[in-house]
Structure formats: C-alpha cells, structure tokens
C-alpha cells in the first residue's frame, strides 16, 4: 500500500465500551471526522504501527480500521490498542499514530473467544514486525515530538 506509513492523530474519545470489558483489549478510539478523512487507499483491516499519547513515549500498537464485522457496527472506526499497560485512562488526550503495515482483513468469528485469540495473535505479529529494521525507524520520527 503506497500510502504507508500513514500518520494521523486525534483526541481519544469514548467508543462502545467493549474493548476492555469484553475482549480484555482496550482500544483508544478517535473521532469519526478523523476516520472519514483517511485515504480511500487505506483499506479496512488490521494494521501494526507506532503510537504515543500526549507526545509521550512511543509504543508498539495494533489497530483495526473498519466496521467490526463481529459486531456489525454502523459507523467506520479506527481503534488502537497500544502495547503498553497504562495506570490511568487516556480520554481527552491526543493519540498520535504511525500506521506502518497491514496484517489481515477484518473478519467475522464464530465466538468471542476466537476473536480474542485472533487479536492476541495480531499483537504477537505486530511486536515481531516492528522490530524489523524496515519499521523501527518510524518510532523516532519527529512527528511524535512536540
């Protein structure tokens, strides 16, 4: 995809409240207008990249762009799981995201457990990919600084 790496940012807003509770995987959601401004070329699916919050430390991340077929959402969303444990919630803070690579299409699953297993596998794949020389440099991009 020639639009990668793709940089975007936005304030962290409330989503459906399902990520942490149902999936054990909190996802920082950004406003619909930012999602609508994504290039057409950036197709729906699961991606890996780098993310930070309020210009803080840059962490590995996995994200989902689309309509969550398992839940059949009516609005498109971009949700980022930052691979780091935070002590507090992040609502209102600014998420910056560098989307580096595509992992797989969004899928429907027969069970919640199957979706959770797929997400855990995505996290492992993302961690591995981002260690590659090809992707590691983006972590240090000036975009993430003040």
Nearer to ligand RBF, 50 or 122 (CB): 122
Residues 38 and 55 sit within 8 Å (Cβ to Cβ): no
Which listed residue (79, 106, 124, 133) is catalytic? 79
Q: Is 57 a catalytic residue?
A: no
Is residue 50 involved in binding ligand RBF (CB under 6 A)? no
Contact set for ligand ADP, span 4-63 (CB under 6 A): 12, 14-21, 26-29
CA 35 – CA 29 distance, rounded (Å): 10
Query: Which of Mg ion, ligand RBF, ligand ADP, none is residue 20 near (CB under 5 to 8 Å by kind)?
Result: ligand ADP
Binding residues for Mg ion, rule: CB under 5 A, are 15, 19, 27, 29, 79
Q: Which residues form the interface with ligand ADP (CB under 6 A)?
A: 12, 14-21, 26-29, 81-82, 84, 86, 89-91
């Amino acid at each position: 995809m020639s639009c990668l790496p793709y940089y975007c940012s936005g304030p962290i807003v409330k989503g459906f409240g399902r990520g942490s509770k149902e999936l054990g995987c909190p996802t920082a959601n950004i406003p619909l207008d930012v999602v609508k401004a994504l290039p057409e070329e950036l197709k729906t699916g699961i991606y890996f990249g780098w993310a930070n919050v309020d210009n803080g430390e840059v962490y590995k991340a996995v994200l989902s762009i689309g309509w969550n077929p398992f839940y059949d959402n009516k609005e498109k969303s971009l949700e980022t799981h930052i691979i780091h444990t935070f002590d507090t919630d992040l609502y209102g803070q600014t998420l910056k995201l560098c989307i580096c690579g595509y992992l797989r299409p969004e899928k429907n699953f027969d069970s919640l457990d199957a979706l959770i297993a797929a997400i855990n596998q995505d996290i492992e794949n993302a961690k591995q990919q981002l260690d590659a020389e090809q992707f590691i440099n983006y972590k240090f991009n000036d975009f993430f600084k003040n």
